[in-house]
Structure 1
Amino acid sequence: MPDDDLAGLARAFEAQRPRLELVAQRVLGSRADAEDAVQEAWLRLSRSDPAEIENLAGWLTTVVGRISLDALRARSARPGASYDDLVVVPDDGAVPEDEAELADSVGLALLVVLETLTPSERLAFVLHDLFAVPFEEIGRILGRSADAAKMTASRARRKVRQPTERGDADAGAAADGATATAGVTGASGPASRVVVDAFLAAAREGDFAGLVAVLHPEVVLNVDTPEGVVVTLGSTEIATRASMFAAMVGSARRVLVDGLPGVVSRAADGSVISLMVFTVEGWRITRLSALADPARLARLSLPA
């Protein structure tokens, strides 16, 4: 491609970059991943014939959508491999910049719910409901018909609404013993902090009833150990491990792990015992993920 043509194409691409990064960030939930996806889209565009592209904006949206979908599927295929890429910062009450930007348009609670969707559901929901991309175009990205894409988005929409409805009901029940916070404020908002603090207090005291009260009945616990991942299902089963939690949160430092509430626990000598991450929906903890593998913990940059 002649230099003049490439320069013109680059200018046209840069005009689209802010919108493309916004699309990718809302699909992937990460600014860094979004920037990578958009840069990959530019590389593909620079290797293409512009004469064959009738609608540059639509073409780029499709390409960024496909790249984001591949990234989501790769993330789902290797859930245990994501620890090395985690961003862990002290939880001082401030909202991370990425999270604040997303909250302006989709809300923090939605960020948590999006993590429960399959890659196809998440892409269809974000592209259609947030960006009004036609189902025909979404179907091409997913390799499905427009009707199938519409069904995928509808299924995602039902999943997104259900936790919110459950949260409204649970919030009223929790208000008697918790700080009065209206509704569910999301991944790392005040309501989540109240729930996590209640969990930590119950764990330190070995309070079985207190743990059950803040755990969703179908909560999932994943503990990543040197021997592999140990999965425990259900609030009662998890609460019986109160003594384990007491050791893991005895000297806990509250942190944000990719925007989600978490705690770093250290031994008396300062060595890290574990990193625990919480997913909170409707005043209940629905998922706990704990990394207790010393070798993998050593590779993370964790607050002191």
Structure 2
Amino acid sequence: MTGSDRENAVAEAFMEERERLVAMAYRMLGSRADAEDAVQEAWLRLARQDAASIDNLAGWLTTVVGRVCIDMLRSRKARPVASHDDGLPEFVVTEDNVSAPEDDALLADSVGLALLVVLDSLSPAERLALVLHDMFAVPFEEVGQIIGKSTDATKMLASRARRKVQGTPRPDGERQQRRAVLDAFLAAAREGDFEGLLRILDPHVQWRSHTAHGVVVKLGATEVATNAQRGAYVRATVQPVLVNGEPGIVAWGANGKPLGVLACTVVDGRIVEITSLRDPRQLAAMDLPGRPD
């Protein structure tokens, strides 16, 4: 095999692992852009490595990406960035269609907006231990080598992280079913159907709205239903989208500017959590699907 052939073979092997690595890094970092950077760094390190000396490429790449991610998380903790201070997870907004890219499906699998917020509250070592072992089945011994801990200490980190994320609402059912619940919520809000809203909302629902002036939190079905009836989403042009792989909407004003992005977590056919973004500055910086005709 020529040198060129070996390089092509390594590149192909890396591309086969890339989607998994991006999904893994996204869960650890909470940012698609940061996840892409971490995986790109792994590729650069692989390019400098003698690939013939790597017995298990998938394991090697997992280790490298894990170490890059923990360095990034520790740097982030040392120098907090504003976007991580207000508890706002990154909104990855894509068109809602059946032909969504496979990497977006991998990215969203088993990780909703609520879980991203909780993961961000974990220490870097806790987050890696939980993500790598519980979500990607990396053995504790290998996780420990990545974070510099013994196997037993790594198990304890993962256990502590599990306790912290316990109770975080996880989406259930088919995506189409969750979309139907969100559509029913929007229809009831537009029609002023207060009782209809209460039937759709979990009694303990929480709505976190990130605005230019801070985070506004509404608790309980009655308060959330009242807020929905008088919200800007009732009067806006609503475009169905996927937010981190879950059904959501982009609301557009008459001037063609986005009014907000909204996503919800549906459990047992009811909305248990709503997260929305209404900060014009952050909305303007987002890569949103084009306004519908």
Give the TM-score normalised by the residue count of structure 1.
0.68
Please name the residue that 2:283 is paired with. Answer: 297
1:281 maps to 2:267: yes
SS of 1:239's equivalent in the other structure is helix
CA distance in 2, matches of 1:70, 1:284: 39
1:25 maps to 2:17: no
Please name the residue that 2:146 is paired with. Answer: 141
**Deviation string, structure 1 residues 136-169 (Cα, Å, up to 9, x no partner):** 21123334432233244456678689857xx8xx
1:150 maps to 2:158: no
**Deviation string, structure 1 residues 43-72 (Cα, Å, up to 9, x no partner):** 345567999988765443211123345567
Q: Which residue, out of 245, 250, 254, partners 1:259?
A: 245
Q: Which residue, out of 132, 135, 160, partners 1:127?
A: 132
Q: 2:129, 2:157 within 8 Å by CA — same for their partners in 1? A: yes
CA distance in 1, matches of 2:261, 2:67: 33
Q: 2:88, 2:117 within 8 Å by CA — same for their partners in 1? A: no
Q: 2:204, 2:219 within 8 Å by CA — same for their partners in 1? A: yes
Q: CA deviation at 1:278?
A: 1.9
Equivalent runs, 1:151-166 vs 2, <5 Å: 151-154=156-159
CA distance in 1, matches of 2:147, 2:196: 44
Please name the residue that 1:62 is paired with. Answer: 63
Closer, same or farther: CA 68–98 of 1 in aligned 2, 3 Å: farther
1:248 maps to 2:249: no
Closer, same or farther: CA 123–280 of 1 in aligned 2, 3 Å: farther
Give the TM-score normalised by the residue count of structure 2.
0.70
CA distance in 2, matches of 1:148, 1:202: 50
CA distance in 2, matches of 1:24, 1:242: 35
**Deviation string, structure 1 residues 79-100 (Cα, Å, up to 9, x no partner):** 44835xx4342x35x2522367
Closer, same or farther: CA 62–116 of 1 in aligned 2, 3 Å: same
1:87 maps to 2:88: no
Q: What is the RMSD of the two structures over their aligned residues, measured on CA atoms?
A: 4.2
Q: Match of 1:149, as an amino acid? A: T
Q: 1:216, 1:285 within 8 Å by CA — same for their partners in 2? A: yes
CA distance in 2, matches of 1:121, 1:217: 32
Q: Match of 2:101, as an amino acid? A: E
Q: CA deviation at 1:34?
A: 4.8
Closer, same or farther: CA 273–77 of 1 in aligned 2, 3 Å: closer
Please name the residue that 1:102 is paired with. Answer: 106
Closer, same or farther: CA 197–61 of 1 in aligned 2, 3 Å: same
Please name the residue that 2:84 is paired with. Answer: 77
Q: Match of 2:228, as an amino acid? A: A
Please name the residue that 2:224 is paired with. Answer: 238
Closer, same or farther: CA 71–160 of 1 in aligned 2, 3 Å: farther
CA distance in 2, matches of 1:257, 1:162: 18
Q: Which residue, out of 10, 13, 20, partners 1:15?
A: 13
CA distance in 2, matches of 1:80, 1:101: 21
1:221 maps to 2:190: no
Please name the residue that 1:175 is paired with. Answer: none
Q: Which residue, out of 192, 197, 203, partners 1:211?
A: 197
**Deviation string, structure 1 residues 71-122 (Cα, Å, up to 9, x no partner):** 6785983544835xx4342x35x2522367539xxx95x2438546526566
Q: Match of 1:134, as an amino acid? A: P
CA distance in 2, matches of 1:8, 1:267: 54
Q: 1:224, 1:230 within 8 Å by CA — same for their partners in 2? A: yes
Mark the runs of 5 or more structure 2 residues left unpaired by the alignment.
none
SS of 1:133's equivalent in the other structure is coil
CA distance in 1, matches of 2:204, 2:73: 24
Closer, same or farther: CA 19–81 of 1 in aligned 2, 3 Å: closer
- Number of residue pairs aligned between Structure 1 and Structure 2: 272
